[in-house]
Amino acid sequence: LAAPLFARMKDGAGLVNVGRGSQQKLEDIVAALDSGKLSGAVLDVFEKEPLPAESPAWRHPKIIVTSHVASLPPRSERAVASGLPR
């Protein structure tokens, strides 16, 4: 997810990445947002996680950062004690 792909997209497209952070270039996303090529981005993954406090993704008005918690939560002691399937 970088400038060559964005150049082929219609102006004002949106971007959602919940896949792999290594598949996107954040600097290209920011540039596409600033130019209007992208209208917004929802990013759940980043090349470096946790996302550093100085990352422009935290401050950019057209980026929504979601928490990367796609795994199942650990089973609680209460669920085990209640006899729920493991």
Could you list the active site residues?
20, 68
Tokens 């600097």 belong to 27
50: cis peptide before it, omega within 30°? yes
Residue 4 zone, left/alpha/beta (φ > 0; ψ -120 to 50; rest):
alpha
Quick count: other Cβ atoms within 10 Å of Cβ 3? 13
